[in-house]
Amino acid sequence: MDKFFNPTSIAIIGASRNPDKVGHVILNNLLKANFPGKLYPINPSADALKNIKCYPSVLDVKNKIDLAIIVVPASIALKAVEDCGKKNIKHMIMVTAGFSETGNHDLENKLLVLLNKYKIQLLGPNVLGVFNTHSNLDTLFLPSSRIHRPQKGYISFICQSGAVGSATVDLFSSQGFKFSKFVSYGNALNVNETDLIEYLGNDSKTKVICLYIEGVRNGKKFIEVCKKVSKKKPIIMIKGGLTTTAARATLSHTASLAGSGKVYEGALKQANIIQASTLSEMFNFAKLLSKNKKPKGRKVQVITNGMGYAVLSMDYIELNNLEASTLSKKTLDTLKKKLPPLVNVDNPLDLIGDADNKRYKLALEACVKDSNVDIILLITLFQTPLIDERLTEMISKIYKSSKKPIAIVATGSKFTQDNIKQLEKKGIPCFSFPDEAVAAIRALCEYHLN
């Protein structure tokens, strides 16, 4: 499986000089990503593409090829696969569509015969491709003007739907969200979601696995593998097609039978898979769960400079089955002595609108030390004039030395966004609203405490 994510040589079968063609875009993207391995564009009517020597067929390449990306039309795709088989290429990404997803089961069956004959592992057909930030691999067939490319990170995303994958990677990566690997697996002819989860379970560059899945091929094996993998790292999943209204749609989309929500829920719990109900929730969960901080319990302390946000946070804490922590007597005494009399030393700990960086430092340090507190929800509304960029420096120092999970909530435009970027750059998880942060904390507790 590793050859899909860390190949040292790639053949692009159907590479093209026409910039509108998928075979051109993929070659271009691999070059733009600075892919360090060898590239072999396959095109019988070109000598070179982008200054790289072209070959009429993979059989004309003398060196070993790890991975073939096939983009030629379905009508001639089998011939390309046959050539790859003869060339002893064992890994293949089939971008080409027009197989079972369009009703052409006959062609797909013929493809499967070839894969078995040559013992080829195939991603697809009908896939968007693979992205690995750690090996500069980018086989997505859409240009960067349409899909923003992610920075190096530790969250991997396995996605049954190319559209869900391209839209979310585009949005979240542009917001600074970092990915390790992204893979769209299309019709899953002989490599499926379970194989990919198993591989990422052993991947040192993946800390959290996100899944968008409409249906699993082999439910029993899926649960078995997820049970094992989720002991090592969190798996977060959004299941498309939970309801009967969606059932017909999943059937025509990925030939998946939509399961009843309850059945799935039970199975996912068994495998300790965290269920997300929306795409943004999934990525918010992943953000918090990818940090190496485990809560000892579910007692949350809220620190704020805006009480309305804290009131909402307390609501969400109860609604998410978390607890509000009660500060120890020692913390109460220390903070009451050091903070101005108007500050309400309690939970929420309201530093009020004229809070400055120093007030935040006192509060955060005290809560990190207090063993009555398991998790800190730190609300920093940057609209108030007495906090500034230095606050992010201070938070980052304390965050680094603390074992406790800390989640930041900040809502706002440019000034806030600049500060959030600084915090995120330092690895501190930030959320736009209290509900998002508290739901992520619930997922964190679900994973570590259940």
- By CB under 8 A, the residues from 217 to 256 that bind a second copy are 238, 240-246, 248-250, 252-254
What residues between 153 and 212 interact with a second copy by CB under 8 A? 159-168, 170-171, 173-174, 212
Q: In whole angstroms, what is the distance from residue 294 CA to residue 66 CA?
A: 39
Please state the closest distance from residue 100 (CB atom) to a second copy, in A: 13
Q: Where are the beta strands (DSSP E) in 128-266?
A: 130-132, 137-138, 151-152, 155-159, 178-179, 181-184, 208-213, 235-239
Nearer to a second copy, 181 or 239 (CB): 239
Spatial distance between the Cα atoms of 200 and 376, rounded to a whole number of angstroms:
30
Nearer to a second copy, 218 or 278 (CB): 278
CB of 432 within 8 A of CB of 411? yes
H or E element that contains 89: none
* Smallest separation, CB 131 to a second copy (Å): 14
Binding mask 2-21 for a second copy (x = CB under 8 A): ------------------x-
Interacting residue with a second copy among 45, 145, 292, 401 (CB under 8 A): 145
The nearest distance, CB 61 to a second copy, in angstroms, is 30
Question: Does position 356 bind a second copy by CB under 8 A?
Answer: no
Report the SS3 class of residue 176: coil
Nearer to a second copy, 6 or 384 (CB): 384
Within 10 A of 254 (CB to CB), how many other CB atoms are there? 21
Give the CA diameter of the chain: 81
Q: Which of residues 42-101 bind a second copy (CB under 8 A)?
A: none
According to the binding rule CB under 8 A, does residue 344 interact with a second copy? Answer: yes
133 belongs to the binding site for a second copy (CB under 8 A):
no
Can you tell me which of 315, 333, 389, 393 binds a second copy, judged by CB under 8 A? 315
Candidates 148, 152, 330, 336; binder of a second copy (CB under 8 A) is 148
Positive/negative CA dihedral, 203, 209, 212, 216:
positive
Contact predicate 297/444, CB 8 Å: no
How is residue 227 written in tokens?
């049970």
Binder to a second copy among 1, 142, 271, 332 (CB under 8 A)? 142
**Residue 252 Cβ vs a second copy, minimum distance, rounded to whole Å:** 6
Q: How far is the CB of 326 from a second copy (least distance, A)?
A: 11
Q: Is 118 in the site for a second copy (CB under 8 A)?
A: no
Is position 108 an interface residue for a second copy (rule: CB under 8 A)?
A: no
C-alpha angle with apex 322: 321 to 323, nearest 5 degrees?
125
236 contacts 276 by C-beta, under 8 angstroms:
yes
Q: Specify the residue, 69 or 437, whose C-beta has the smaller distance to a second copy.
A: 437
Q: Per CB under 8 A, does 321 bind a second copy?
A: no
Say whether residue 414 binds a second copy (CB under 8 A): yes
306 binds a second copy (CB under 8 A): yes
Instruction: Return d(Cα 309, Cα 210) in angstroms, integer.
Output: 29
Among positions 383-412, residues that touch a second copy (CB under 8 A) are 383-385, 411-412
According to the binding rule CB under 8 A, does residue 333 interact with a second copy?
no
Q: Which alpha helices (H) appear in 233-386, and where do they start and end?
A: 244-254, 261-270, 279-289, 307-319, 329-338, 357-369
Scanning residues 270 to 289, which ones bind a second copy (CB under 8 A)?
A: 277-280
Let me know: does 33 contact 158? Beta carbons within 8 Å: no
Asked if 381 is part of the footprint of a second copy (rule: CB under 8 A), the reply reads: yes
Quick check: 346 and 376 in contact, CB under 8 A?
A: no
Nearer to a second copy, 201 or 259 (CB): 259
